[in-house]
Structure 1
Amino acid sequence: MAWIYLAVAGVFECGWAIGIKYTEGFTRVTPSVLTILSMIISFWLLSAAMKDIPVGTAYAVWTGIGAVGVAVFGMVCFDESRDILRIICLLLIVSGIAGLKLVSSSS
């Protein structure tokens, strides 16, 4: 269950990272509230996952999911660069996340 918490925490990390763009410096109420809620949920799920997953592994996976998710979202929704080297780098992050899961001794 800890890995599910961690994956969902990573998705909410993407949500708040993207949400910050829409808050306009936290001057827009609805995007600000949604962003802050995403932050709270993300941190809560990360802390729940860390009960069973080592802190270094959990944090690396959490940030990796966030980094890849936000970068892909940027490519799809904000027309950011889709350069092959950028995509290869993102795939390296994904392989690192998968590797950490494979070598983890927790559930």
Structure 2
Amino acid sequence: MNWIILIIAGLFETGFATCLGKAQETEGRESVLWWVGFAACLFISMFMMYRAISVGNNPIPIGTAYAVWTGIGAVGGVLAGIFIFNEPVAFWRMFFVFTLIASVVGLKVVSS
């Protein structure tokens, strides 16, 4: 269960990064709403990360949890950049995104 919580925390990390980018692109009330979304995603992400490392019978070690959390956020950030912010897709960029995904999966496999 802690792994599911950690994955959701990583998705909210992507959410707060995306909201931050959108807040910088907008003005006025719309920008304020993106800042509120940023704060909400940040709080939820941090709270869920805390839960994943400290609750239940089998908490995830902080080093592993942090690496997985940032990895999910990094991959999500790149994908949000491509699909929402029209950032370029290049072979080497995608190659390293896939190596990052493989590393996150590897950490899950070797974690007890």
Q: TM-score, normalised by structure 2?
A: 0.88
Quote the Cα distance in structure 1 between the aligned partners of 2:111 and 2:97. Answer: 21
Runs of 5+ unmatched residues, structure 1: none
The Cα shift of 1:73 comes to: 1.4
The Cα shift of 1:76 comes to: 1.7
- Larger displacement relative to structure 2 (17-26 or 39-48): 17-26
Quote the Cα distance in structure 1 between the aligned partners of 2:83 and 2:42. Answer: 23
What residue identity is the alignment partner of 2:50?
S
The Cα shift of 1:2 comes to: 0.4
Runs of 5+ unmatched residues, structure 2: none
**1:97 partnered with 2:85:** no
Quote the Cα distance in structure 1 between the aligned partners of 2:87 and 2:22. Answer: 17
Report SS of the residue matched to 1:46: helix
Q: How does 1:1-107 map to 2 (within 5 A)?
A: 1-24=1-24, 28-51=31-54, 52-105=59-112
Quote the Cα distance in structure 2 between the aligned partners of 1:5 and 1:84. Answer: 31
The Cα shift of 1:22 comes to: 2.1
Quote the Cα distance in structure 2 between the aligned partners of 1:78 and 1:23. Answer: 12
Q: TM-score, normalised by structure 1?
A: 0.92
- Larger displacement relative to structure 2 (90-99 or 72-81): 72-81
Quote the Cα distance in structure 2 between the aligned partners of 1:77 and 1:38. Answer: 17
